[in-house]
Amino acid sequence: MPAVQLTQLKPQIDDLLWKYTRPEEFLAGLHQLLEFYSFRVLRTGKGVQAMDLIPTYHTPPLVLHQLEIALGRQCAENPDAALPLAETLWQDPFLEVKEAAAFLLGQVPVDSPEVVIQHLMEWCQPEENKTVLKALLDKGGARMRQEKPDQWLELVSHWLNLLEIPWQSMALKALLPLLEYREFENLPPVFRMINPLVKVAKPELQADLLAVLNALAKQSPTETFFLLRQILTLGTTASAHRLIRRAIPAFPAAEAVRLRETLKDFAENSN
């Protein structure tokens, strides 16, 4: 793998962008770029767990970051070509190519959000490679979350309502980038979505629920405290108590103290 020199990388990416409106040629050029910077020692697949097997060039993050910066500018200039290119790249099996497809999907204008939603519903599958799925949820929904957050919440709700653990886990993961978007303030629908899940706190969803509660505690600690207190008031499982206790460190000191006291009170009353 050659060392990454920006003075060399940027002209290479510029050459690739000339093919932006010709998806098949762009795909071939992208493979050439990724191959040039590939870490061939790791491409054998040694040490990779079977569940995560996916062809990859192990391209340095700097290369992918610069590619996304350049693609973002290109999409702003010619947004209509983003989706056809994304669709072509998505059909390729390589990790980095699928990540580029996810990024492009997140640059597609959402004046008619149905198109983006349709692709997200088709591409986001629980059995998808974890890295690819994270790219889809984080980058593939970028404009949707910023410009049409209500539609993003509807998509999350759809996945939650499928009632199967893998889909609910994916839905909770989809909430995280929305909660990390500072301008998003419409928390009541999020509280309504997670309320029944926190109340039961199934072991398979604990990690995802904890991540969501931690994000909520950072964004709106007082509202999140009241949500958890309400859940405790209505009755919860021992698993839910453990989940809420694990979320305490994410709260500021004042809410953390109140939450510990609330848990202690309910523990004493249940004895």
Chain mean position to CA 173: 6
- In this prediction, residue 264 carries a pLDDT of 84
- How much is the pTM? 0.90
pLDDT tens, position by position, 22-69: 999 999 999 999 999 997 555 544 444 444 689 999 999 999 999 999
Q: Does position 128 have pLDDT exceeding 90, yes or no? A: yes
Report the interhelical angle of 95-105 vs 23-36 (nearest 10°).
130
Report the share of the chain in percent with pLDDT over 70: 92
What whole-number distance in Å separates Cα of residue 259 and Cα of residue 20? Answer: 53
- In this prediction, residue 55 carries a pLDDT of 94
Q: What is the dihedral angle through the alpha carbons of 239, 245, 251, 257, rounded to the nearest 10 degrees?
A: 140
